[in-house]
Structure 1
């Protein structure tokens, strides 16, 4: 027993402390098991979690081509880049929520190759003059589309600070002095995110730059940009019988695209429900799942979690989605896919009854729907005044009814 106790004690002593500053996580198996392809890269690995996997090795040669292009523009030697990373190795390892079992040399080489791949990828997207006819990614749209989505997988992240610092180091000695003069890593990253990701996750044009310096990595940057524009007064959510868009429409609620570009800024005021515009694409679910997973694992307030729950109640059927399409809140597309997306995502969300960000809006919607006058007015408008001809017919019928009444009254007086 003493020998066994010594062995176990040794294992306990050798445990690595969990770094407080970690921000890059491996998705829990309970979350991954139902949709593993949404969290696992199939084309390119970035960072240590999937480094060296056989099915991802084909992209390693392309990464090195990008590294070669990058080095050809700067006078900084490759040994200087490696030494620069070496000095920050401990800090880099501490960004990951688990021990990275790569030797120092392998880890440093991996960081350089992957970091420069991202830098060069954004540079080529920002400045087409940097591309070549032989470019294996930006020259082939199908490969580019796969790569761009995998850059935003939670398990495929590198800390932003090392990307930014390596870019700045390269700028210190360029073969052409004005080559990167007015370009920063923030500039090219935000240009790419705004150009290629905005359709999947609408973000106000200035929020990327505002939050860039605080962000730990790309997924963190998206979460920071999704924080509500103003704090909401929270009240306990007592009744989760949230009316759908169709039910709200029948109760007389009007719908309009949100005045804010923040996807989460749903508002209700004076009978008008504002929902920010969104379009659902084939890769939307994958992006949303990674944002949700990071929000939960990093301990952020569940704003995106609450948005998914709210939208799941509002867009319950294709008819709900159709009404939002008619009101230019959802981009044209498959109205069957929208409710399905939120139903699926909602299964991974948890509602906090005491701190649900839309509780006030829900209470106001429920109160609005309970007033009979709103429903009567909506029924009258939707069924009898929905077209000019219907309105004319109703008015004519009312006039005819009034004339009949007057004639009857006159007849009775004559008697």
Structure 2
């Protein structure tokens, strides 16, 4: 099209010309398709005159070519056709997203909104971001300079070039992206740079915590690379579900440092030591169990649903260490649809009641004792005594349990051991009085402000958790406790003991009352006996 300077004059001319042609021929309506609605002429932004029909279908209308003077036919797309095209594009995208291979390695999830319940701080890192989910956030950028320091120190110490690490991560890019949920909106170079930067930072922390940061060349007063200051907050950020890096990436980069690129399991063993301060128990791992945990990492006989996929991360390593690595056959994967069936209404909070609270159980005669073991979930019940290992609650316990529960909820091939334990403790603890008694028994030790805060913590941990009580490790134990609770004789015996045998003075009073009752009964008996059988004297 050529430029038109007097568009208004040309428009009126073309309109008049078209009207004259329509009147003279008289056949325009007969030759056109049966299209209902009015016809109007519009001038587009290029000065063209278009004849458009107010119809829901696509039609051909004449268009005047300003250069050649010829009348051409053009097809106008209606909004309905664009709508159908957009739907087809969405279906094509859904087909790509639904590919089986896209879910095979997924292991690092975004925490569902239904689980957050206003506790975003428990799931969102506060100091350092790792991976793509929180990459580039303004409040986390201050740590970038320390990440680059870590990379510089590592390259200087190993006398290597950064391209070695970039090339290694570049080879793993597709496999690494598959570990994350959803589309990662980063270019290839940006993604590789981020993974190298974050991975080197993590490796420096793990190696420094195990062998000493001064051995790696860091100053004793370093604000980050020292086992003090903000290290506890960094550890809490690094254990969050949305803040993970696939373990195979860390293994590859650590292997490049040591000259053994194919090594596996070293990073996992370093992670066990690094996250040991977050353990919810003050009972240290016995040498036997610690050796069992470390030696089992990387072996096929160990229950690790991600071993074949290579998608293990630090949160899963920490979770396995909590469960003391249950060696055995791989369990049957849980089926998501089962959770929503009518026969297993697992989303009903009322059906998640495994056991009565501490106060009610205590009134029924059940005793509570501390069980000395490093496995905080190993609870036993025998002869009316519920033995529970000590649980240490600190300011990071809430975030730790929430992220472990979120991982077990999201990853279907993962068992619900931690979720079962937290729900069991939630049932036991209803009030500050329950926490106070467990503290008195040496079962709960906490660093929070009050017993009421501990009770509120447990009561809020599993509010929106989908849980099948039939799939709990504590189902059998809870059934035994409830049977003991329902036996009335146990409750009567407990009431008698609490009221009359609670202290020595109560015992003396009870014995005196019994003796007095016996003497009174004997006196009454002899009185009646002498009345009916008087003496012969």
**What TM bracket, shorter-length normalisation?**
0.7 to 0.9
Deviation at 1:53, TM superposition (A): 1.2
In the alignment, which residue of structure 1 is the partner of 2:123?
Answer: 39
Deviation at 1:151, TM superposition (A): 0.4
Residue 379 to residue 95, structure 1, CA distance change in 2 (3 Å):
same
In the alignment, which residue of structure 2 is the partner of 1:193?
Answer: 275
How far apart, in 2, do the equivalents of 1:202 and 1:106 lie? Answer: 44
Residue 30 to residue 305, structure 1, CA distance change in 2 (3 Å):
same
In the alignment, which residue of structure 2 is the partner of 1:158?
Answer: 245
Matches within 5 A, 1:145-294: 145-172=232-259, 184-194=266-276, 196-199=277-280, 205-206=289-290, 208-209=293-294, 212-213=297-298, 214=304, 216-226=312-322, 240=353, 242-294=355-407
Residue 187 to residue 277, structure 1, CA distance change in 2 (3 Å):
same
Structure 1 stretch displaced more, 309-318 or 329-338 = 329-338
How far apart, in 2, do the equivalents of 1:67 and 1:290 lie? Answer: 29
Superposed CA deviations along residues 239-280 of structure 1, whole A, max 9, x for unmatched, are 948321111111111112245533333332221112222122
Residue 211 to residue 202, structure 1, CA distance change in 2 (3 Å):
farther
Deviation at 1:324, TM superposition (A): 0.8
For normalisation by structure 1, the TM-score amounts to 0.85
CA RMSD after TM alignment: 3.1
Secondary structure in structure 2 of the residue aligned to 1:80: helix
Residue 210 to residue 378, structure 1, CA distance change in 2 (3 Å):
farther
Superposed CA deviations along residues 367-404 of structure 1, whole A, max 9, x for unmatched, are 21222221222223222222344434434444454455
How far apart, in 2, do the equivalents of 1:122 and 1:301 lie? Answer: 27
Matches within 5 A, 1:110-149: 110-128=194-212, 129-130=214-215, 131-139=218-226, 141-149=228-236
Deviation at 1:211, TM superposition (A): 5.8
Structure 1 stretch displaced more, 328-337 or 4-13 = 4-13
Secondary structure in structure 1 of the residue aligned to 2:158: coil
Question: Could you tell me whether the CA contact under 8 Å between 1:318 and 1:338 is conserved in 2?
Answer: yes
Within the candidate set 294, 297, 305, 2:419 is matched to 305
In the alignment, which residue of structure 2 is the partner of 1:176?
Answer: none
Query: RCO (CA 8 Å, sep 6+): is it higher in 1 or 2?
Result: 1
Question: Could you tell me whether the CA contact under 8 Å between 1:211 and 1:225 is conserved in 2?
Answer: no
Which one has a larger percent strand, Structure 1 or Structure 2? 2
Structure 1 stretch displaced more, 368-377 or 80-89 = 368-377
Question: Could you tell me whether the CA contact under 8 Å between 1:208 and 1:221 is conserved in 2?
Answer: no
In the alignment, which residue of structure 2 is the partner of 1:103?
Answer: 187
Structure 1 stretch displaced more, 399-408 or 118-127 = 399-408
For normalisation by structure 2, the TM-score amounts to 0.67
How far apart, in 2, do the equivalents of 1:6 and 1:332 lie? Answer: 60
Residue 335 to residue 40, structure 1, CA distance change in 2 (3 Å):
same
Question: Could you tell me whether the CA contact under 8 Å between 2:355 and 2:478 is conserved in 1?
Answer: yes
Question: Could you tell me whether the CA contact under 8 Å between 1:309 and 1:351 is conserved in 2?
Answer: no
Residue 242 to residue 187, structure 1, CA distance change in 2 (3 Å):
closer
How far apart, in 1, do the equivalents of 2:446 and 2:497 lie? Answer: 26
Residue 57 to residue 3, structure 1, CA distance change in 2 (3 Å):
same
Structure 1 stretch displaced more, 345-354 or 136-145 = 136-145
How far apart, in 1, do the equivalents of 2:397 and 2:483 lie? Answer: 33
Within the candidate set 443, 460, 464, 1:329 is matched to 443
Deviation at 1:2, TM superposition (A): 5.5
Residue 291 to residue 335, structure 1, CA distance change in 2 (3 Å):
same
In the alignment, which residue of structure 2 is the partner of 1:180?
Answer: none
Question: Could you tell me whether the CA contact under 8 Å between 1:211 and 1:221 is conserved in 2?
Answer: no
Residue 91 to residue 241, structure 1, CA distance change in 2 (3 Å):
closer
Residue 211 to residue 9, structure 1, CA distance change in 2 (3 Å):
farther
How far apart, in 2, do the equivalents of 1:24 and 1:332 lie? Answer: 30
Secondary structure in structure 2 of the residue aligned to 1:72: helix
Secondary structure in structure 2 of the residue aligned to 1:57: helix
In the alignment, which residue of structure 1 is the partner of 2:68?
Answer: none
Larger radius of gyration: 2
Question: Could you tell me whether the CA contact under 8 Å between 2:133 and 2:242 is conserved in 1?
Answer: yes
Unmatched tracts of structure 1, length 5 or more: 174-182
How far apart, in 1, do the equivalents of 2:451 and 2:357 lie? Answer: 15
Question: Could you tell me whether the CA contact under 8 Å between 1:309 and 1:349 is conserved in 2?
Answer: no
Deviation at 1:203, TM superposition (A): 8.8
